[in-house]
Chain A
Amino acid sequence: MMGLITRSRVKSPWIVHYCCGGCNGCDIEILACLTPLYDVERFGMLNIGNPKHADILVVTGPVNNRNARVLKTLYDQIPNPKVVMAVGTCASSGGVFHNCYNTLGGIDKVIPVDVYIPGCAVRPEAIIDGVVLALDKLNLKKRTKVG
């Protein structure tokens, strides 16, 4: 049963996507992955709007004081095992917003990040590569022990 679950986990990554306030370039590239050209549903990937159903949190843009709380809440609402992908240079390190008074920098200032995908904007191929990396890490994660 456990083998079945670990095998299924890498075949069915469901993604919840959150934009921390970047320029929308990376968001458009993420959506491009869903189009017939890249068709990530081939790999069982679905864009799920609901953190409670998701496995992978995909974040774009630099985190700021206003949305750090939202990002943390979204992260907490995803059931374990989960992985976080920082998509784009802004989400990875703050990018062009580095040292701006209104941003905190990369999203790893707020939540633990498993995969960084640099690029401005990232290419869809890089995002798919990143998801494959994230899937390798997903099975290393543990479920929360309850009771």
Chain B
Amino acid sequence: MSSGELVLPLVAFLLAPVAGGLLCGIDRRLTARMQGRIGPPILQPFYDFFKLWGKDTLVTTRENLVWAWGYLLLTMVAVFMFFFQQDLLIIFFVLAFAGACLIFGAFSVRSPYSHLGANREILQMLAYEPILLLAAVAIFLKTGTFMITGVFEFGEPLLPYLPLAFVAVLVALGIKMRKSPFDIAASEHAHQEIVRGVYTEYSGRHLALIKLTHWFEIVLILGFIALFWAQPLWIGVVLALGMFVLELLIDNISARLRWAWMLGVSWVVGVGFIMANMVLIYLAGGAIRV
């Protein structure tokens, strides 16, 4: 591996939280504009982050704090592997365990809000995990490998072959961004009925860590969307940003819905679409034989 191959992914990895924070700032600004307000400055998420960093941390249980760190570190590992173009399946497995850390953290305290949020977070994982894993399998059917390098070596964009899988991944994007109608585990606004659910018991520095993790997550999932058009990559990035804005629009025109509805949508639209896409690939005879 040459030094260029090492430096570029490393720089991308270090810039990921900055990009994620800026995206969150743009999110808040755009959301405000859609609601006829002016909205906070683009840098607002960073102000929030540093303010939280400078506050006291109220410790409910020490496990709670350990799981917050676990959530951050495992997500960072997943993002790191993503930029180094590693195995998509492993990346999603690590991401799943990062999500599990958040759930364990929420279960390690006795707050009913936290438990309610954790139960809902399990349902959210149940909804998006099959989509992400099956999307990786669909990519495998075209490229013959789970490695992200394979996507770049494939030679042509994947989106024309995987349009239905792409739609399914958009559902996973909504759930992972914790946006309406899928913000059931950690209500988007803190004054709602479960007062942030899984995040309820975190305060100060550890809440800041969780914000940071969320920025990494957004970059990872948008990066995955960009993979659907990796030749050239800038089209993929524009595509991902477009989907981000689309997600904000959906967030602003929809209310939070019930978990049963979310499972219905993600399993029927999500898993169903990917399955249909795989069948189409086989019918077209385009699947790579391994």
Contacts and interface: CB of A to CB of B under 8 A. Distances in A.
Contacts of A103: none
Interface string B30-73: 00100111111100101111110111111000000000000000
B126 to A, nearest CB: 26
Given A41-B32, A42-B39, A12 B47 contact: yes
A53 B190 contact: yes
B51 A12 contact: yes
Contacts of A5: 50-51, 53-54
A97 B207 CA distance: 40
B213 interface: no
Interface of B: 28, 32, 35-41, 44, 46-51, 53-58, 189-192, 195-196, 199-204, 207
Interface of A: 2, 4-9, 11-12, 14, 36, 39, 41-44, 46-50, 52-53, 55, 77, 79-81, 143-144, 146
Given A8-B46, A8-B48, A11-B44, A41 B54 contact: no
Interface residue SS majority, chain B: loop
A48 B40 contact: no
Contact of A53 (B35, B37, B39, B196): B196
A39 B200 CA distance: 25
A39 B55 contact: no
Contacts of B46: 8
A14 B207 CA distance: 13
Given A41-B32, A80-B56, A50 B37 contact: no
22 contacts: A5-B51, A5-B54, A7-B47, A7-B50, A8-B54, A41-B28, A41-B39, A41-B40, A42-B40, A44-B40, A44-B41, A46-B190, A47-B191, A49-B190, A49-B191, A53-B190, A53-B196, A53-B203, A53-B207, A79-B56, A79-B58, A146-B56
A50 B196 contact: yes
Contacts of B189: 47
Contacts of B58: 52, 77, 79
Contacts of A48: 190-191
A71 to B, nearest CB: 18
Given A9-B51, A50-B190, A79 B204 contact: yes
Contact of A9 (B54, B190, B191): B54
Given A8-B47, A53-B203, A144-B56, 13 more contacts: A2-B54, A6-B54, A12-B44, A12-B51, A36-B35, A36-B37, A39-B37, A48-B191, A55-B51, A79-B58, A81-B55, A81-B56, A146-B56
A57 to B, nearest CB: 14
Contacts of A41: 28, 32, 37, 39-40
Given A42-B39, A42-B40, A8 B195 contact: no
Contacts of A77: 58
A79 B54 contact: no
B48 A143 contact: no
Contact of B55 (A36, A42, A49, A80): A80
A77 B49 CA distance: 20
Given A12-B44, A44-B48, A49 B192 contact: yes
A47 B48 contact: no
A52 B200 contact: yes
A113 to B, nearest CB: 20
A116 to B, nearest CB: 24
Contacts of A80: 55-56
B48 A39 contact: no
Contacts of A79: 55-58, 203-204
